[in-house]
């Protein structure tokens, strides 16, 4: 329910709809590609107020709210921001989101809140994503934020995985008064926010400050602990946990096993490339601390957000020619348009309807070229996407000394294998009985995020964690 007072709604929508739009300020491509710092220049307070005052306050429920997976009350926040009441606006986001400073930066706004803004019909949408990040940053700088802690219940919940799903769950469980311990296989918390999404989209210090809020709220963090290897879910119950949430993501890179040459020096998997390229060595497991090798001519294979991030990381690491190879057309690309535009502005090229069929070594045994075949779009598949079909005899070669495979991700099947009665499907995705609750086939075990849906978004994983937290709270109240 929007909190905008009714007298305020007697606004002149037409006049507001015609207010001038000032595009987002970005650092110039030639400057930003020299480092890994944030690309978007943060709003100044006056600029934020002007931008928020473009909101025409659609009747409740506003389309932006409907499109937001976490149902942020965006019109109310816009109303507060335009009056300079930034901290109160931040409070609106905290009501529905555990990660507003992250979602304000990395959500594909053009496909969600901003994409559904009615101003799109004749004008530019309100930049509500960036305004979300602005308000929460402002609050942190001026007074800080503390996750409200509930009355202690004496119940203990184990969360497996410190990514957006696990943290969405932790945030609400703490507010309900439960004791939360997060077990994480990596040295630091954050999941793909740290070990995937590059710094130029989400600076590590933004994340570190966010994590401090969880620590201050009493969330216990157990790093370098791989559940399924170092401990089991049964073991966690035996240690005294009353419920378990699985938020382990979907992080195993898809392979091109039937394509010769993927084992050549110069062919990288996306995650390894991004992590070595972006993450400080001290946050990495020891076996990943070496520098990432990069040549002058780089091809990235794939069409998702990961591909855009690899292209942009390669440019920042000094590659001279960076090309994305994708087997369908741009229309079918799953990655966000905003990231693609930034990659293009930074110098990345795209080659559509192109499928690598062989990675070719040069005289030194390292990657020298990628043999490709042209594709055309055939009949739609089960999901309605037209299938790419090779054009017979159209093979050609692209010179490349580095190839990065950004083909998607699979879940690690280990928890299905080591947890009796835990149902999994499709290569290890966790089966949940009711998506609104995240309850699995195993009593007291809940799950959400990419390990349930397959690779998706930060916001959808966080929402799944929050929904599961409510279900866990209910379960713990009723548990004998």
Ligand X SMILES: Cc1cc2nc3c(=O)[nH]c(=O)nc-3n(C[C@H](O)[C@H](O)[C@H](O)COP(=O)(O)OP(=O)(O)OC[C@H]3O[C@@H](n4cnc5c(N)ncnc54)[C@H](O)[C@@H]3O)c2cc1C
Which residue of 101, 179, 305, 401 would you call a contact of ligand X, by CB under 6 A? 305
274 near ligand X, rule: CB under 6 A: yes
303 near ligand X, rule: CB under 6 A: no
Which positions from 396 through 415 interact with ligand X, judged by CB under 6 A? 412, 414
107 near ligand X, rule: CB under 6 A: yes
CA distance 83 to 3: 14
Which residue of 58, 65, 74, 106 would you call a contact of ligand X, by CB under 6 A? 106
Q: How far is the CB of 374 from ligand X (least distance, A)?
A: 28
CA distance 237 to 155: 12
Nearer to ligand X, 11 or 283 (CB): 283
CA distance 262 to 79: 53
Q: How many CA within 13 A on the CB side of residue 403?
A: 32
165 near ligand X, rule: CB under 6 A: yes
162 near ligand X, rule: CB under 6 A: yes
Q: How far is the CB of 394 from ligand X (least distance, A)?
A: 31
Q: What mask of x and - would describe binding to ligand X in positions 431 to 460, judged by CB under 6 A?
A: ------------------xxx---xxxxx-
Which residue of 251, 269, 401, 473 would you call a contact of ligand X, by CB under 6 A? 251
Nearer to ligand X, 104 or 249 (CB): 249
CB 105 within 8 A of CB 202: yes
Q: How far is the CB of 309 from ligand X (least distance, A)?
A: 5
Q: What mask of x and - would describe binding to ligand X in positions 189 to 228, judged by CB under 6 A?
A: --xx---xx---x------------------------xxx
Question: How many CB atoms are located within 10 Å of the residue 253 CB?
Answer: 18
Total residues contacting ligand X by CB under 6 A comes to 40
CA distance 340 to 422: 39
Tell me which residues touch ligand X (CB under 6 A).
106-107, 160-166, 183-186, 191-192, 196-197, 201, 226-228, 247-249, 251, 274, 305-306, 309, 412, 414, 449-451, 455-459, 461
């Amino acid at each position: 329910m929007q909190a905008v007072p009714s007298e305020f709604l007697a606004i002149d929508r037409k006049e507001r709809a015609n207010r001038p739009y000032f595009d987002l300020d970005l650092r110039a491509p030639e400057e930003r590609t020299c480092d890994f710092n944030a690309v978007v220049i943060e709003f100044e307070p006056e600029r934020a107020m002007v931008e928020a005052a473009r909101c025409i306050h659609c009747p409740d429920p506003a389309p932006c709210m409907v499109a937001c997976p976490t149902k942020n009350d965006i019109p109310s926040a816009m109303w507060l921001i335009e009056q300079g009441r930034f901290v109160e606006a931040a409070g609106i986001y905290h009501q529905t989101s555990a990660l507003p400073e992250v979602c304000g930066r990395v959500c594909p706004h053009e496909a969600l809140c901003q994409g559904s803004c009615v101003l799109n019909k004749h004008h530019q949408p309100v930049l509500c994503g960036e305004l979300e990040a602005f308000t929460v940053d402002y609050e942190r700088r001026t007074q800080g934020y503390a996750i409200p802690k509930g009355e202690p219940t004496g119940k203990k919940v184990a969360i497996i995985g410190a990514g957006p799903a696990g943290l969405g769950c932790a945030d609400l469980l703490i507010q309900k008064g439960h004791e939360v311990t997060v077990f994480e296989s990596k040295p630091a918390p954050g999941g793909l926010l740290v070990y995937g999404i590059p710094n130029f989209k989400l600076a590590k210090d933004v994340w570190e400050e966010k994590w401090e809020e969880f620590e201050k709220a009493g969330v216990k963090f157990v790093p370098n602990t791989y559940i399924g290897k170092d401990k089991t879910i049964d073991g966690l119950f035996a240690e005294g946990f009353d419920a378990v949430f699985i938020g382990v993501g979907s992080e195993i890179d898809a392979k091109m096993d039937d394509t010769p040459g993927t084992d050549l020096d110069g062919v990288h998997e996306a995650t390894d490339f991004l992590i070595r390229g972006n993450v400080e060595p001290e946050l990495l497991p020891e076996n990943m601390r070496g520098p990432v090798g990069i040549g002058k001519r780089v091809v990235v294979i794939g069409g998702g957000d990961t591909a855009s991030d690899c292209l942009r990381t390669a440019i920042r690491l000094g590659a001279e020619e960076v090309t994305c190879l994708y087997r369908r057309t741009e229309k079918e690309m799953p990655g966000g348009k905003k990231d693609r535009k930034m990659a293009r502005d930074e110098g990345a090229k795209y080659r559509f309807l192109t499928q690598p069929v062989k990675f070719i070594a040069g005289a030194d045994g390292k990657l020298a070229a990628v043999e490709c075949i042209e594709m055309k779009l055939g009949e739609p598949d089960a999901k309605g996407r037209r299938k790419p079909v090779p054009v017979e005899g159209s093979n050609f070669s692209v010179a490349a000394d580095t190839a990065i495979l950004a083909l998607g991700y699979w879940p690690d099947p280990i928890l299905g294998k080591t947890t009796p009665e835990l149902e999994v499907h499709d290569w290890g995705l966790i089966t949940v009985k009711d998506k609104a609750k995240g309850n699995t086939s195993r009593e007291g075990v809940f799950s959400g995020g990419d390990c349930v849906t397959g690779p998706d978004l930060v916001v959808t994983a966080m929402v799944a964690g929050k929904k599961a937290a409510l279900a866990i709270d209910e379960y713990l109240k009723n548990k004998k």
